[in-house]
Every structure is written in structure tokens, then in C-alpha cells.
Chains A and B, each alone.
Chain A
Amino acid sequence: MVTAENVTHLDEQLSKPTVHATRTVKDTPGYRVFRVVNATLLVIIAGVTLYPFVNLVAQAFSSEAFINAGQVNLWPKGFNVTTFNLVMGDSMFWRNYQNTVYYTVVATLVAMVLTTTFAYAISKYHLKGRKVFIGIAVFTMFFNGGLIPNYVLVNELGLRNSVWAIALPNAISVFNLLVMKSFFENFSTELEEAAEIDGLSTYGKLWRIVLPLSKAVIATMVLFYSVSFWNSWFAAFLYMDHRELYPVTVYLRNLIAGATSVDGAAGSAEATQIAANVKAVTMLLTVLPIVCLYPFVQRYFVSGVMLGSVKQ
């Protein structure tokens, strides 16, 4: 049975003492060399993974002249925060940032309600037609309408320029649905039966017994959904016609697209580099919430994936 307690600790399975822990034989010299090489390689891989972020921070705090000269790599040169003032003074940036927060909250709420109710119902083995309902969901992972029919539909429903164009077409991720379903399947039947004897309806059981004891999986799902909505840009790019409606990702996309066209046209070097600096600052401000939260919530993501893949 999965309890809230061990869901949060599922990820620790990943790093539980490895299978080689019992060591009666001494390592051969060859293996000792391998271990040193292996650890070194992993440090290099971690360094390469982090480098783009380090470079981003360095460029964000550097002056255009030094970026222009190709001298900014690990550390800012010509330290200044004027571009920060410039970007943060742009009311459209903040407007779009607010939109991102709003879209993420609404879309995540809708997604959670739909995913939770569907997952709970199809987690009941005795439900007639359960397999059909699961099939309806799973089939969409392998085949879907494609870009144009979806586009036509959203326009036809009049969802353009509203949060619903972002929230509704992506309301259920089948992956998340299956994760929740497998969690509910392992929920204590005794508890639910006891609640039933006490006269609770299905709604009552879900609301008062199951959900309060599923906080960990709910937190994981909220994180999955909110990160994906926070990061999304394409739906807004397709369906939002006014600058005031863009999320910050589309703001950033337009900035990058503009900058590259200057780059490609070999325009004035100065214009290109100002763009590079502004770009760096905007990118930094966009990723900041995620990078700051990430170390604290990472384990939930890992446990969510484990829950979806490992047989309990």
C-alpha cells in the first residue's frame, strides 16, 4: 500500500545503498582507476550541464561592450545592473509575467479537478466499463487530431484570446492520470470501507478520506502541471492576438526571435549585443522562480515518475 509517508520517500529508493554495498573482495587496481575516471567524468558532465546557466548569469550582469568582445564566460565583466532596471521597468514584461501566473493557476486548477475525478473513478476495479474508460484515455497518447484540427476547433469554440484556449485543450495529461490512478488503486480499501459503513457517499469518501490522505501525490501532480503550464508558450503563441495577453514565455520568444533576425542580418554590432544582454536578463528573470524552487521540489517529481512506472 502506498501512503503519503512513503510516496515522498519513494525517490530515496533511487539512492538507497547500491547493490554492490556488500563488499567482501578488494577492488582490483583496474577498477580503482575506473572509479576515479568515472567520478571525474561525472563532475565534467555536471559542469557542462550547469555551464549555460552560469554563462547566462554572467551575461546578465555584464556590460554590452564585454559581451560584444566575447569576453564574458564564467564571470560578469563590466558589472552593472542597468539592464535589469530596463527590463524590470518594462510594464509589458510584468503584465506578461502576471499572465503567466494567472494562466498557470487556472489551467492547473482545471487540470487537477479533471485528472483527480477521472483517476479516482477508473481506479475502482469493480466499475463496469473501467477498461473502456482507460482505453479512451490511453489511445490519445498514441494518436491525436494533430495541429490543424485542434487549431480549427479552438477557434470554432471561440476560445481565442482567453485563458481557456490554454487551459482546456491540455486539461488532462494521460501520464499524470495514470500516475494518480495507480496511487488510488493502492489506497487502503479498509479505510474506504470503514467510511462507507459510517454512511459516507462516494463524494464524501473522495473529499474527506481519500484526498486528505493523498496530499503527497496531489502536490506532485500540481507541480507537474504547473511547471508544464508555466513553461508552455505554443498555445499562447497560437491563440493570443494581443501583446497584453501573452505569457512571459511568448514575450521572451519574441525578444529572441527579434534579436536573431538582427544577428542574421549582420546589422550593427551594437544593436545585436544590446539584444544579447537584454535577452540574458529576461531569460534569467523568467527561469528564476523555477531554479529557486527546484532544489526543494525535485524529489516530488522523481517520486511522481517512480509512482507512474514502478509496480507497487
Chain B
Amino acid sequence: MSTDGVTVGGGAPQAALAHDPVPAVAARGAVDAPQGPGGRAARKRRDGHMTWRRALRRDWQLYSLLVLPLLFFAVFRYVPMAGNVIAFRRFRPGGSIFGEEWVGLHYVRMFINDPTFWNVFQNTLVLGILSLVIIFPLPIVLALMLNELRSQRFKRIIQTISYLPHFMSIVIVAGLVFQLTAMRGTVNQIITAVGGAPIGFMQLPEWFRTVYISSEIWQTVGWGTILYLAALSTIDPQLYEAARIDGANRWRQTWHVTLPGIRPTMVVLLILNIGSFMAVGFEKILLLYNPLLYPTADVIATYLYRVGIGSSQFSYATAIGLFEAIIGLTLVLSANAISRRVVGASLW
């Protein structure tokens, strides 16, 4: 699971601030726009015929409240989106943010012929797939385990502890990773204690994926249970009663009642995870990696960061970022379409 927002774009600054506590829910909130109370439908029909002039005259105060936020979205979200045209235009620092002159697919051809790009592309895919396959199911398992506890007090304590890492700055997480994987750190002490030789985790590319996925598990799995626990609490107890009467044991109750009960939540979270697939932990990798680890740790987002900010090749980096964002958007749209057709659940 990504620690970033559900933003698909390559390590965008808003991904930098992990505002979204559980990115996944966001869209659910959007999906589940509550139905209005009675009478609203009638009013809505009337509004359908209302002209903008009348609407503005009646609700000008409400519209005035929208001005600043819409300005924010225009300037800080939609202008940068348009700014992606510099992927196809030559950009001169200090010049227009939309570039100087058209160069067509020059920069696209450039990254297609860049072997480093394909290396980081492959690393992104591997880390994305590993996150999806390993990390996605874990909150479900943990939520089911918590659900079997009878002592509410014990359950609360475990929950409180497991949410804690979510509130840590990514810088702290990186610091803890360095501390635990140091040559004299706890992990190496355990390895030496069982007779192994200490491993330089942060110098060996073959270990990076393990370190990264482990730290992601530590940081995200506990908080990831919240939505599943919420879904679990809405399952009708009578279903368990009925299953028991039919002779189902606990295992079969879990399989036939609990899991189907949280399936919609699982599907929505899966779609969102697929959407953030390409934007794997940009900030965390940026903090953890070093040139020795590039063979496995360098992902599209970190590469375009070095190319763009480090070497000031703005157009080239934007072309890479746009490519990444389009793949991300395509992934989330297709996952949504497939899910709507196959399991009948979707984001919108």
C-alpha cells in the first residue's frame, strides 16, 4: 500500500504531504454521497430548470465561499496539469512555465531509448507488485484476528499500538530503518546470535526490497485495518446465528459470512491500491536509498526527481512523470471497469 495519497502522478508534491490518512477511503466517501432526506428529489427536479442567473442571485453567498478554494484548485492543481505540456516543448528556466517551442515527441523518444529508464520502470513494477501481493492482504488478516478477540480492552490496546507507526513522519521511519539495519543494529545482532554473519542491508541491492516491504508493513498494516473493522461491525449478527444453526463452525462462518461481508471494502481498497501502484513510496525511497542501491531501489519517481530537480532537465523529467501518471490513471480506470463488470462494485 502506498503511503502517499492516491495521487497517481509521479511523486507530486502533494504526495509529499501524506494528508490522506487512509487514502483509500477518500473515493469511498465520494461514492457514498449520502442520499438526501425526503423532498430533496422534488427540489432537485426544480433546480434542474433553474437558470444560472437565478441560482447566482439566490446562492451568491454560497458561491462566494467557493471562490478561494476554486482558485486553489485552478492554480495549484490544474495549472500544473497543463504544465505537463513542457513534456512536448522546450523549457527555458526563467521563461514561461509552459515552455518555449514545440519539440513533439523528442523527450518521449529520449526516455524510450534510455536504458536507465527501463531499469527504474522495472524496479517500480517489482516494488508495486510486491506491495500489492504482500501488503494488501495483511490488514484483512489482522482485522479478522482482532475481530476474534472477546476482551474489548485488549482489542483497544492492540489497535492503539498498531496505529501508532502511521502517525510517524516518513523521516522518522527512515531513521528507524537505518537504526535497526545498522551493522550493529538489532537485526544483525539476531543474525549473529543464530550464527550468521552481519549483513550490510543498506549497501546491498539484493536486500533493498525486503527492507522496503518490511518497513511498509510496519508502517501501514495497523492503520489499514480501520476500514475493515468498520465493515466487520456492520455485518448482521443474525447471519452468524443462521450459519450456526446450519452447523457451520467458526472457520466456515468466517469464510461464508465474514469475508463476503467485507468484500465491497476489499474491492474498493484494491482498486485504489492498483491506482497508486506506480507511485510507490517515493519519499521513503528517496530517504533510504543511496547509489549502491540504485539497481533495485531506484524507481520512476526517484529517477525523475534526480533528472528534473538534480540536473534541471525539466522537460525530460516531465515527460517521464506524465508517462507514469497516465499509466496510473489507466490502471485505476481499468481496475474500476473490470471490478464493476465482474463483482459489481466500483468507485463511481
List chain A positions with a Cβ less than 8 A from chain B.
Answer: 13-22, 24-25, 28, 31, 34-35, 38-39, 41-43, 45-46, 48-53, 55-56, 59, 67-70, 73, 113-115, 117-118, 120-122, 124-129, 133-134, 136-138, 140-154, 156, 168-176, 178-179, 181-182, 185-186, 189, 201-203, 206, 224-225, 227-235, 238, 249, 252-253, 256-257, 259-261, 263-264, 273, 276, 279-280, 283, 286-287, 290-291, 294-295, 298, 301-302, 304-306, 308-312
Contact = CB atoms under 8 A, between A and B. Distances in A.
Given A117-B69, A152-B97, A147 B305 contact: yes
Contacts of A14: 159, 226, 229-230, 233
Contacts of A140: 7, 73, 77-78
14 contacts: A19-B232, A35-B150, A45-B158, A46-B157, A50-B161, A138-B27, A142-B332, A147-B308, A175-B29, A206-B65, A231-B169, A252-B175, A310-B32, A310-B234
Given A45-B158, A121-B66, A151-B308, A13 B230 contact: yes
A264 B203 contact: yes
B61 interface: yes
Given A114-B68, A125-B44, A283 B11 contact: no
Contacts of A118: 65-66, 69-70
B61 A144 contact: no
A305 B139 CA distance: 15
A115 B66 CA distance: 10
A233 B81 contact: no
A48 B318 CA distance: 41
B153 to A, nearest CB: 9
Given A185-B34, A202-B61, A46 B171 contact: no
B154 A39 contact: yes
B25 A308 contact: yes
A180 to B, nearest CB: 10
Contacts of A287: 168-169, 172
A189 B40 CA distance: 11
A147 B30 contact: no
Nearest to A147: B11
Interface residues of B, number: 140
A143 B69 contact: no
B182 to A, nearest CB: 7
Given A140-B73, A149-B97, A128 B318 contact: no
Contacts of B305: 147
A121 B62 contact: yes
Interface in B6-62: 6-14, 16-23, 25-30, 32-34, 36-37, 40, 43-44, 47, 50, 52, 55, 59, 61-62
B336 to A, nearest CB: 10
B180 A55 contact: yes
A42 B156 CA distance: 12
Contact of A306 (B16, B186, B226): B226
Contacts of A176: 19-20
B161 A121 contact: no
B84 interface: yes
A128 B50 contact: yes
B146 A42 contact: yes
Interface string B322-340: 1011001100100000000
Given A175-B19, A256-B287, A309-B227, A290 B167 contact: yes
A294 B226 CA distance: 16
Contacts of B324: 146
A143 B43 contact: no
A45 B162 contact: yes
B301 interface: yes
Lowest 5 A-B CB distances belong to which pairs?
Answer: A145-B80, A149-B83, A234-B16, A173-B19, A70-B184
Given A175-B26, A238-B13, A308-B28, 4 more contacts: A14-B233, A16-B233, A126-B43, A144-B77
B186 A189 contact: no
A273 B183 CA distance: 11
B121 interface: no
A7 B255 CA distance: 32
